[in-house]
Structure formats: structure tokens, C-alpha cells
Amino acid sequence: MNKISKVVVAFIVILTIVLLMNQSHEVKVAALSIQFENETTEPEVKSIFSYNT
């Protein structure tokens, strides 16, 4: 391979790695953790989750 081909291959490899890393971060960010206080009833939880629908 000549020098230009090596540079193009290296660029494609780096770009692929960056894209794969970004996809994995999206999955982690998409997770949602909610913790309710003690004695929160099921109807209260349902009303909170259905508030914006």
C-alpha cells in the first residue's frame, strides 16, 4: 500500500471506532433510574408516569 492508502484506512478505522463508542454512550444515557420515597402507593406512581400522556 502506498502512503495515501494507509492514511485513508487509518482514518476509516478511527472513524468507525468513534461511531461505535458514541452508540454505546447513547444506550447508557438512555437508561433512567427513578427512586420513590417510602409509602408511595401504586396509584400515585401510575399518575406520575401518565401525567404527560
Query: Is pLDDT above 90 for 20?
Result: no
User: Is 38 exposed, middle or buried, given 0-12, 13-18 or 19+ CB atoms closer than 10 A?
Assistant: exposed
- Give tens-digit pLDDT for 31-50: 666 777 778 888 887 887 77
What's the grid cell of residue 2?
A: 502506498
pTM of the shown model? 0.41
Q: Which pLDDT score, from 0 to 100, does residue 9 have? A: 92
Give mean pLDDT, residues 15-34.
Answer: 65
